Amino acid sequence: MKITILSHNLSSNAAMRAHRLALAARQFADVTVLGPVERRGLWPALPREPWIQTVPELRFPEFHRSFVHLVDAADGDVLIAAKPILSSYGVALVAAEKRRGIPVILDMDDLDIAFTPREQWRKNPSMADLHRPASAVYTGLLTKAAPAASAVTVACTSLQKRFGGTLLPHGCVTRQFDPAAIDRDAARREFAFAKPTVLFAGTPRHHKGLKPLAKAIRKLGRAQLAVPCRAEDLADPEWRAFEIIRLPMIPYTRFAQLLAAADVVAIPQLDTETGRHQMPMKVYDCMAMAKPIVASAVSDLPQVLENCARIVPPGDPRALRAEIKGLLKNPATARELGQRARARCLAEFSIERVGQVLESVVKQVLRK
């Protein structure tokens, strides 16, 4: 069996969900990931896999060439479109029609229309610019067209309540994230972590809650905050008030070393429409690495981390500071929480388990 996974932009963080879907699908099928790539290249954390194929990221009218190329290259027995965006779901629907009924699975890991609310279009016209394949206009229409898919998979229960479908967690390649296989002291030297270090495990965007976390660490005193980011991230003057170790983004294949070097991992997602409809992917990697985690009570974080992490109200620097301080002062408690988190990840969220769920969805659409 061959599966084609379509990503709308392999130069963005969204490529990581397509990659994780591919790892799950490779448990039972041959897989190709297709998608546009910008001139700056692939997303820095995306592993360079031989089964990833790219086309140039273009705007209309030139984009029609990339669109036709993607349609022709989408030759799987099943097509999986990551996100309801023109260059992924739009391509999949046209390719399926051209090939007379090939099943299409729409995978949703975000409420993408929440990133570009209509009330902001006047202030930021680029959001609705029809020259952009990721225009909010196309994305809104394709989101409404979700029922046209043969099946829907979602990354969190809030999306499931909204769109139905099968819950498909991000999962983790647990054999790669094994704390026993990594020299923690060497990892701390590699990343120059001399003080107790809190790692922000996410992309620094507003709904990820980095600002409350930075405020919490600023008043903690004895710890430092490390944030993987691009050169253009955290460039606004407001971030100068915080002492943040800005780490260059590293490939996913090296993320386990970074986690090993950290003392505590923070996932402080905010209670926004975007935040409520997104489950942070890296939480599963943190669990597999047996890290003590402090996370906010948003999306499925409380359920996934029940009894194996510290959960705090979203956007509350004081609560973040108190729980992080407690874990740094009590390493035995931190270790116990981390061990529970790893046990749950191995039992419920390994990439093999995710692959089994995805395989059942694939078999279902092939029977239709």
Contact 134, 85 (CB under 8 A): yes
Within a 13 Å sphere around the CA of 104, how many CA atoms are in the beta-carbon half? Answer: 28
Q: 2-171+351-367 maps to which CATH number?
A: 3.40.50.2000
- Is the per-residue pLDDT at 233 higher than 90? no
Residues 236-294 pLDDT 10s = 888 888 889 999 988 899 999 999 999 999 999 999 999 999 999 999 999 999 999 99
Q: Which CATH number fits domain 179-348: 3.40.50.2000, 2.130.10.10, 1.20.210.10, 3.90.650.10?
A: 3.40.50.2000
Same CATH topology for 2-171+351-367 and 179-348: the answer is: yes
Residue ranges per domain, the chain?
Answer: 2-171+351-367, 179-348
Residues 171-204 pLDDT 10s = 999 999 999 999 999 999 999 999 999 999 888 8
Predicted TM-score of the model (pTM): 0.95
Residues 283-338 pLDDT 10s = 999 999 999 999 999 999 999 999 999 999 999 999 999 999 999 999 999 999 99
Q: What contacts 361, CB < 8 A, 6 or more positions away?
A: 105, 151, 153, 166, 168
Contact 107, 127 (CB under 8 A): no
CA–CA separation, 340 and 246 (whole Å): 30
